Amino acid sequence: MNLIGTILVYAGLLALLVGALSILRPLTFLGIWSRFQGVMLLVGGVVVILIGANLPAAETKVAIRMTALDDFVPAYQFGELHTIRINAPRERVYAAMREVTADEITFFRTLTWIRRFGRSGPESILNASPNEPILAMVLRTSFMKLAEEPNREIVLGTLVAAPQGAQMKKDPTPEDFKALQAPGFAPAAINFRLEDAANGETVLTTETRVYATDPSTRKKFGAYWRLIYPGSALIRVMWLRAIRNRAEQMPGSISSELFR
């Protein structure tokens, strides 16, 4: 349903743009012959955007605990999962994951600049330091470490929505994160998990989950999620590729030519 919502939102945005341009000058090469048709297309685009943004988000519950992420977000309404195979052992992949910087992630700076509307702001995942390892930076600024099993999995958590004026605990713990169920909040967690594969390779997975604690927060965050999802997914795909590039260039990594 979230993917359908995203498709509808972007289809509506396209229709809105074409309609707006056709009001200025009908785009006859698209079969739009009058400004009235442009107005109708613009209105239709707005309606489609509203439908996509407000589609209900179903809740997913983890049936069997498989990862540390399951301990902290066992139920969620919004999520994404990405996987990559890397020609390097887990230890090197994990080291690369801890060392990769924002500048190594293709399109990262462009997409985060768009996300913050070009505004400057405090250091965060949307305004990352160029040379500092990105995991270290986000743990220092906007995320907390929920769990870590070296060379296997790390889980980070943050809040993507909170009631206005809410006072957060000064030094929250992973248990505080796990227990957060009050209305108006949307805790989010992301993990990086490594598993051994054939020929000494490693499968690296990153998963993001968001749990909105009440229907109103779910509806508001749903509209936001469906708008940012394509960029968010692209960042995660490129993040995994940056880790792969770094891991495979480390001394002692398996040559990618050996298994082709």
Q: Could you read off the pLDDT of 217-257 as tens digits, one per residue?
A: 999 999 999 999 999 999 999 999 999 999 999 775 444 33
Q: What is the DSSP letter of 155?
A: E
Taking residues 157-185, what's their average pLDDT? 88
The CA-CA-CA angle for residues 196, 197, 198, to 5°, reads: 135
pLDDT at 110 over 60: yes
**258 is a domain residue:** no
Torsion of CA 169, 172, 175, 179, to 10 degrees: 40
**254 is a domain residue:** no
Stated pTM of the model: 0.90
The per-residue pLDDT for 195 is: 97
Residue 95, CA distances (Å) to 84, 105, 142, 204, 248 in order: 16, 16, 22, 12, 11
The per-residue pLDDT for 55 is: 95
Beta strands in the chain (DSSP E): 60-61, 75-76, 78-86, 144-149, 153-161, 186-196, 202-210
**Strand 186-196 to strand 75-76: parallel, antiparallel, or no bridges (unpaired)?**
unpaired
Residue 39, CA distances (Å) to 29, 30, 53, 211 in order: 17, 15, 21, 38
The per-residue pLDDT for 252 is: 59
Count the domains in the chain: 2
> For the chain, what percent of residues have pLDDT higher than 70?
95
pLDDT in tens, 4-16: 999 999 999 999 9
Same domain for 64 and 27? no
The per-residue pLDDT for 106 is: 94
Taking residues 90-100, what's their average pLDDT? 97
Same domain for 169 and 245? yes
Give residue 69's domain range: 60-249
pLDDT in tens, 16-37: 999 999 999 999 999 999 999 9
CATH (domain of 89): 3.30.530
The per-residue pLDDT for 253 is: 47
Inter-residue contact 186 to 160 (CB < 8 Å)? yes
Same domain for 159 and 43? no
Q: Structure tokens of 257?
A: 């030519």
Same domain for 228 and 206? yes
Better-predicted residue by pLDDT, 2 or 134? 134
Inter-residue contact 125 to 143 (CB < 8 Å)? yes
